[in-house]
Structure 1
């Protein structure tokens, strides 16, 4: 066991000060991912700074109709909150599709956003891995990569991001609130929070060293919009997505007024399907129109030897999700967007 110091912060400022004062430190919330990585020897922080006593456990409905959720709220509490279930059902469904009830009770939404890949080469310190040790190589490219990326990968890394929640947040146009002791607070669009690997796969997100995820901000719900989350996996529960999709749809006189589509399990980050969205805006969402839009989005996929099936799987999930939403919206579906 690697020894480490432990600090339980009671304020955000205390946490950021402790981070700056202890090189090699890491923030910890529920610890459902970080502690596992410490057991594997992937993470070896000199100091753990516990954030669970910070005042980040609340839900705030803002005057604009937006909902601000503290970063220490558990996955379970976010999934079952009445406003989330009625206004943002895709988010509730995504959370409930992830992990087990026991893990959801402990895991925080801030930690969920910052969880790291489940690539077996990353988690095995006896193997090279550019994400764990830049410059050592990516054995997954020629090795076991059935679960890996088909979009946005690079020669340095082909892994995927495991979060279900992050996919829904990307489709819902949520924002991530960050705090740095020196610069103060800033917001980042959820769709832009995670990075593609490029030449620096070790950088999972745009977060700067020492910054704390303090909240997630969900925009006001759009009356008449419907949403859902669909996930395909190897077994019915407790498995990461082979492919997933979060979709939001609003119709106006039978045409698409607003659509948002985000894929999970396909890339190093939740993949916002901008090409498909642009093609569908203003269109009558027939099966053919949806098929063409989704195909245009996935045309840039670069599958590897063993994961080409993901392209067809993602296409089927997206087309089924949008068809379901079209039926719901056309039938005067509830503005909650709750899945029929």
Structure 2
């Protein structure tokens, strides 16, 4: 099964190995294999197949390759700790075998697998591209649509409140102005009025999700989040901060809201700790692959309590898609 996927030697067999990519590779092998397992030693085998004779001696070579395995295992263990029951894989005590346990996926499991697959579309990563497991163009459209719904649920749980899927095309097919009016009738903070020169046919004006935790008194000054959902390779270039603070309110409100919008970026990717610090510095709060799944699981409880989370009913469709996708691919093994 491992041979079906591309092994990114340049990122893994390197002086500074990308352990996240190595962990992703093991997860994808387990997900697509007939027995739902991958072996961490597969990393060493894959490195040896494409290795060049550039090591000074065999001891250095083996030490470096064992470090790739131990580094990938550490990443997998950190994912398990961050996500708990929302992590759809199990690593045995010896760190030898990784097993996919999401055959009947929970909402958290499905969110993680959706993130994992989106992280390896061809514009981002070569691992899946060219294999028989690569999603079709139609499936990729579905994946991105589903991630929008998962992101809406995750942001609802983040603020412990209501959420609206505002990104175009919207689930209810409403226009920009109709949807904005619907939301702000609930918020009752500010007066909608398009500014001179504002786009005549806006789609979503860069905001994909609104989420709010309102107060019973109905007054402004509540927790309000505006999020952008980004799945492309250029996701880091799409900061909402300036737009949310200065452009969006002045463009669409004659009397601007007094409630401050908190900026969120929602992505399917993993980030190292150092990278993540700078991401937050540039983008504001970030929900990524190690946050979205458990927030989606929390949103399930909110929904059961009657909290409005737009398009939440579509998450079960996404769960079915992930289940069918795994079975279809496994059948090819």
> Which band: TM-score by shorter chain?
under 0.3
Task: Considering fraction of residues, name the structure with more strand.
Answer: 1
Structure ranking higher in helix proportion = 2
- Larger relative contact order (CA 8 Å, sep ≥ 6): 2
